[in-house]
Structure 1
Amino acid sequence: MISDPSTLEANKQTVLAFYEAGLRQKNYAAAAKLLGRRYVQHNPLIADGHEGFEAFLAYLNEKFPDLRAEIKHVFAEGDFVIAHVHGVREPGQRGSAIIDIFKLEDGKIVEHWDVIQPIPEESANPNGMF
């Protein structure tokens, strides 16, 4: 298990760069450089591999060109990086709270999981989701 602080920080920076290239700029070529040879996708709506990720970005570009993903927190432990994200598909929407989990090998992203929770209009507490 990775415990070297410089490697953990490098893994976080890889995930942040992946978000910037892939989800903010929707630039598959730039994002793909941060993926390993294999890319296992655990979101049931997205196909495995580089081709699945490329198709997902094309879908986002077509359906949600103004999508915004703001990373609120990022954590690294071992081979994993976890991002706590506020995702908004269209301006004016409340959006969703997202937890993205990435597994890295040799500095490249090789697996992805996510959990997505819509932000409700009203909350039973004053704490917020971020």
Structure 2
Amino acid sequence: MSTPEENKRIVRAFLETVFNQHEIDEGMDAYVGETYTQHNPNVADGVEAFRENFKETFAENPESYFDIKRMFCEGNHVTVHAHWTQNKDDRGSAVMDIFRLEDGRIVEHWDVIQPIPEHIAHDNTMF
């Protein structure tokens, strides 16, 4: 099993390559296993479904950016708290992703996405 630091490095590299550089094929080939179990209800299961979904997403949102705020690792699960925006005018969403790795490859994913409202009931940020 990989160390927690190695697992976080793999997930960070995957997110940077796919979600910030929009190099989907390169990121999937380098960091994702042959099988990819998806738990997001809006994205179909599997490697090819992920590729197609995000090629379309990034074609529609070429300025999309995933700003990682913090990462946690327990065993082969890495959790990421991030601010995801689609363009410079977008307030974006607070995202919590959980990735499961096997043999140094991402094989499973869960997420919770919360849009950032215009007004919040306190002076804290969502990050």
TM-score between the two structures when normalised by the length of structure 2: 0.94
Structure 1 residues 71-113: Cα deviation after superposition (integer angstroms, max 9, x where no partner): 0001100110000010001221111000011001111100001
1:23 partner letter: F
**Residue 24 of structure 1, aligned match among 17, 20, 28:** 20
Structure 1 residue 10 corresponds to structure 2 residue 6:
yes
- Look up the SS of the partner of 1:74 in the other structure: strand
- Look up the SS of the partner of 2:47 in the other structure: helix
- Look up the SS of the partner of 2:80 in the other structure: strand
Alignment of 1:26-65 (within 5 A): 26-32=22-28, 33-65=30-62
Q: Which runs of 5+ in 2 are unaligned?
A: none
Structure 1 residue 77 corresponds to structure 2 residue 74:
yes
RMSD across aligned positions (CA)? 1.2
Structure 1 residue 95 corresponds to structure 2 residue 92:
yes
| Runs of 4+, deviation exceeding 2 Å | none
Aligned residues: 126
Q: Which runs of 5+ in 1 are unaligned?
A: none
Instruction: Provide the rounded CA distance (Å) in 2 between the counterparts of 1:19 and 1:59.
Output: 17
Instruction: Provide the rounded CA distance (Å) in 2 between the counterparts of 1:52 and 1:80.
Output: 22
